[in-house]
Structure 1
Amino acid sequence: MIQINIDVMLAKRKMSVTELANRVGITLANLSILKNGRAKAIKLETLDKICAALDCQPGDILTFLPESEEFE
């Protein structure tokens, strides 16, 4: 399972979800779906824009959790 850590990076950058959505050019609703881990996919272009806006690497916001750790 892939865990999305956008909220962690937003806190580190002291940025709101609304500000990130505006910088990336996606709707607040779509960013919330992604942030809350309900998204089934993410375009590389969107990931690129999120990383640019948050000044981070993809690994800063995406974490792989092995199946055994998913429900802990």
Structure 2
Amino acid sequence: MSPAEPLEEDLSGVHCRLTELLSERGMTVTELSAAVGVSIVNLSVLKNDRAKAIRFSTLVAICRALDCEIGELLVLA
């Protein structure tokens, strides 16, 4: 990769604050997975800013489980 070529993670410009929100609520990824019906692997992809997209239904389920607003979960990087 050349220095002028951006990293794939830089392309979206969105950071997922899932790690911080889980920590604030004393919840694990495993517990969130069970609560929202999303696999641990998919939550980890989201948590580590590797997701390229997220379904609105998943976003709503995560926000309801974490009792947060979408803007608390997803922020501009």
Range of TM-score over shorter length: 0.7 to 0.9
Identify the match of residue 58 of structure 1 among 52, 57, 70.
70
- Quick one: percent identity of the two aligned structures? 46
User: Deviation string for 1:8-61 (max 9, x for gaps)?
Assistant: 100110000100011010111111001101010000100000000000000111
1:31 is matched with 43
Give the ranges of 4+ consecutive aligned residues of structure 1 lying more than 4 Å apart after TM superposition: none
Q: Quick one: higher RCO (CA 8 Å, sep 6+), 1 or 2?
A: 1
Q: Unpaired segments of 5 or more residues in structure 2?
A: 1-12
For the aligned residue pairs, the C-alpha RMSD in angstroms reads: 0.6
SS at match of 1:22: helix
Distance of 1:28 and 1:64 partners within structure 2: 24
Q: Which residue of 2 aligns with 1:48?
A: 60
Give the structure-1-normalised TM-score: 0.87
2:33 aligned partner, one-letter code: A
Gaps of 5+ in 1: 66-72
Tell me how many residue pairs correspond in the alignment.
65
